[in-house]
Structure 1
Amino acid sequence: MAKIMVVEDNALNIKLFCDLLTAHGHEATGVMDSREAMETALRIEPDLVITDIQLPYLDGIELMGLLKGEEKLAHVPIMAVTAYAGEGDDERIRNAGAAAYLEKPISVARFAETVARLLEETGAPNEDGTH
């Protein structure tokens, strides 16, 4: 079971993402306020971080920079999601540290496949607890 932190300011999206992750055997922790994301990440030491890009206070780009700058978290893959993909956003998001990037509304199958791929690439526990 992988530990996955979801940073999303929309309550419906955070519930959807966390429910999907839980259904796939993962331990999901939702964070609705991006200002609490670093503290939560340091406490739970996630195997994967999923973050929205459009967040109040600290946007997803800034958050990725903080996560990648923290020695304990620098190795953790980040999957970015956003509803507002514009010209050049893909490159900008990947340059900020995202290992994967999905546009909203998400495809449930693509979301699950991307999570599985990122966890496999880092050797994090699978649904059945194996590596």
Structure 2
Amino acid sequence: MKHRILVVEDNQPNRELLCDWLEAEGYEALAAENLEQAFAAFKDQPPHAVLLDVQLGSEDGLSLAAWIRGEPKLQNIPVIAVTAHAMVTDQERVIQAGCNACTSKPVDFKLLGKQLERWLDRAAKLQPSP
């Protein structure tokens, strides 16, 4: 089964780059350019993980992470912030908002791949047995 990864990124070239990379790595990539599209992506079949831009134009991407953590059926979905704001205080804010990890732009795809694999493995172990 392919993991579905939601990329929430308002910058089109960055969104396309992340989606192309995910597909090359064997994932199914879903794309959202704003919070409205991101919330809609959870309606039918929630993604297995989210790559989240923290600053989506005038919107705070971290509100999506907080919402995911507040939803019992979604709270184990890994959220990895992908942000240009990579100072230690920024990273602390990202983690406190509910993200599992934070990676800075420009993206180190080797590091992002390891983070994604780690958190997907951890989420799989938290799934209840049928």
Which bin holds the TM-score, normalised by the shorter protein?
0.7 to 0.9
Is 2:7–2:32's contact at 8 Å kept on the other side of the alignment?
A: yes
The structural deviation recorded for 1:109 is: 1.0
> Where does the alignment leave 5 or more consecutive residues of structure 2 unmatched?
126-130
SS at the partner of 2:76?
coil
> Where does the alignment leave 5 or more consecutive residues of structure 1 unmatched?
125-131
Is 1:31–1:37's contact at 8 Å kept on the other side of the alignment?
A: yes
- Indicate the percent of aligned positions where both proteins have the same amino acid: 35
RMSD over equivalenced CA pairs, Å: 1.5
2:83 counterpart of 1:82: yes
* Distance in 1 between residues matched to 2:88 and 2:103, nearest whole Å: 15
Is 2:86–2:103's contact at 8 Å kept on the other side of the alignment?
A: no
The structural deviation recorded for 1:89 is: 1.0
Give CA-to-partner distance per residue, 1:15-62, whole Å, 9 cap, x none: 111111111111110101222211212322111011000113431211
How many residues are matched? 124
Residue in 1 that maps onto 2:40: 39
The structural deviation recorded for 1:9 is: 0.2
* Distance in 2 between residues matched to 1:36 and 1:69, nearest whole Å: 19
* Distance in 2 between residues matched to 1:49 and 1:89, nearest whole Å: 18
Is 1:42–1:73's contact at 8 Å kept on the other side of the alignment?
A: no
Q: Could you say if the C-alpha distance between residues 75 and 42 of structure 1 is closer, same or farther in structure 2, counting changes exceeding 3 Å? A: farther
Residue in 1 that maps onto 2:128: none
Which of structures 1 and 2 has the larger relative contact order (alpha carbons within 8 angstroms, sep 6+)? Answer: 1
Is 1:53–1:59's contact at 8 Å kept on the other side of the alignment?
A: yes
Give CA-to-partner distance per residue, 1:64-110, whole Å, 9 cap, x none: 11122223211111000111234511111101111110010011211
Is 1:38–1:67's contact at 8 Å kept on the other side of the alignment?
A: no
Residue in 1 that maps onto 2:8: 7
* Distance in 2 between residues matched to 1:96 and 1:73, nearest whole Å: 15
